[in-house]
Amino acid sequence: MNFSTKLLTFSITLLFSITLPSISFAASNGDGPLSLDMITSPLGIFCLLVFIAAYGFVMAEEYTHFRKSKPVILAATIIWAGIALHASGDPSLSKHWAEGKFKHLILEFAELFFFLFVAMTYVNALTERKMFDSLCSWLSNNKFSYKKIFWITGVIAFFLSPIADNLTTALILGTVVLVVGKGNKNFITIGMINIVVSANAGGAFSPFGDITTLMVWQRGFVSFFDFFNIFIPSVINYIIPAVIMSFFISNKIPEGDGKKVIILPGGKIIALLGILTISITVAGHQVLHLPPVFGMMFGLGMLGTYGYFLKTNSSEKDKFDIFHLTGKAEWDTLLFFYGILVCVGGLAALGYLKLISDDMYVTLGATYANILVGFLSAIIDNIPIVYAVLTAHPEMDMGQWLLITLTAGVGGSLLSIGSAAGVALMGQARGIYTFFSHLKWSWAILLGYAASVVVHLWLNADLFDLVPLER
């Protein structure tokens, strides 16, 4: 296959075929090759087209209302059925080759699933106890000017997203902007952009801030405390566009709705349990070398136990039901992750993701490739992009792994469709915060993106030691 053909195949694969957490084909079970060389085979092309079609439905969800999990689950089944049929008829492969690869995928998905499941349950619990409603009430009724609210919501988003994740943070503070800015479209638009940028920037320096950072952490390329090396670049990424946009915000004081929200019993203790859960998760991973899901499941146990005492000692009105909260998890999102992970795992098994390490990182070099990842994440979403790189496992040092963590996290801010936070807020402020209203400020966000990359390359120059990190 000539270079142009390889490059075209790689481009299609990168744009449409990549995604999620910490799967690894590097751990061979000795039953055969790590992956098959079937990029140009009829089966390989068919599986790629199946995934492209499924991802097309995902991208069109806003218009078709066809939940994103459904097409990718179907695609995952078709792809792996094809792989298994081929493996069963190939005498050079063990009859258990496909089974071993698929089981490995399921194990990796289980770790991610339970981690996110617990995180969603805690967020739902805090929402049910009206912790976030109380924050909204405080911000909207304290006679702050529009400009002050702009900065307060941005700063809160920056420091909340490393804990609550960027999507949850955006939805919470987006509500505040809508309540405060009713009748002021300019404030709502700029306020929403500000939250998207700050939430994505804040989520970049924490394993809990974004799915991509969680994936990198779970794979062991970057330790928990190493993420803080990109704290200052993340601040720069947020501050530059925020300062520019703040000049276009009025100092007028909006009228609050006057409503005071009372936190329900147990809300503050649940927040403390959430902090304790994060601490145990980090300690378990750093000290005991157990996967992050260990600490998260312990946190779920603590929440359930406290919920029992809260339920038995509260009035009927304030009853706390842990299983009701778990039922409100984002199941479409969780199942989407399953479908995407299994699909991409199948494409990796067919040999497609080798193109990333063989072409992209060799041809462009790690630095330019990782910067390009940031721009691609503005179009596709950062989860598929980062997962592709993780699966390809190019030889990179600590500085480069932190660079791709930074660019993939903040690159999604360049366009409204580039991150889950942006997409969610477009739905929340439909008709006001739009793709084109965001695009008007992309130049300012690009300045922040470029500055954050430069600061990271300069500030963390000692981490670019050309010593590849091993998992």
Higher model confidence: residue 59 or residue 337?
Answer: 337
| 471: confidence class by pLDDT, cuts 50, 70, 90 | low
Beta carbons within 8 Å of 247's beta carbon, 6+ residues apart: none
pLDDT of residue 341 exceeding 50, the answer is yes
For residue range 268-313, what is the model confidence (pLDDT) as tens digits? 899 899 889 888 887 887 788 788 888 889 999 999 999 888 888 7
Higher model confidence: residue 403 or residue 363?
Answer: 403
Of 53, 45, 83, 47, the closest CA to residue 71 belongs to: 53
Of 430, 437, 425, 438, the closest CA to residue 175 belongs to: 425
**CA distance to 223, 270, 274, per residue, from 328 (Å):** 31, 17, 18
For residue range 363-395, what is the model confidence (pLDDT) as tens digits? 888 899 899 888 888 876 666 677 778 777 788
Q: Is the pTM of this model over 0.75?
A: no
The number of beta carbons lying within 10 Å of the beta carbon of residue 108 is 22
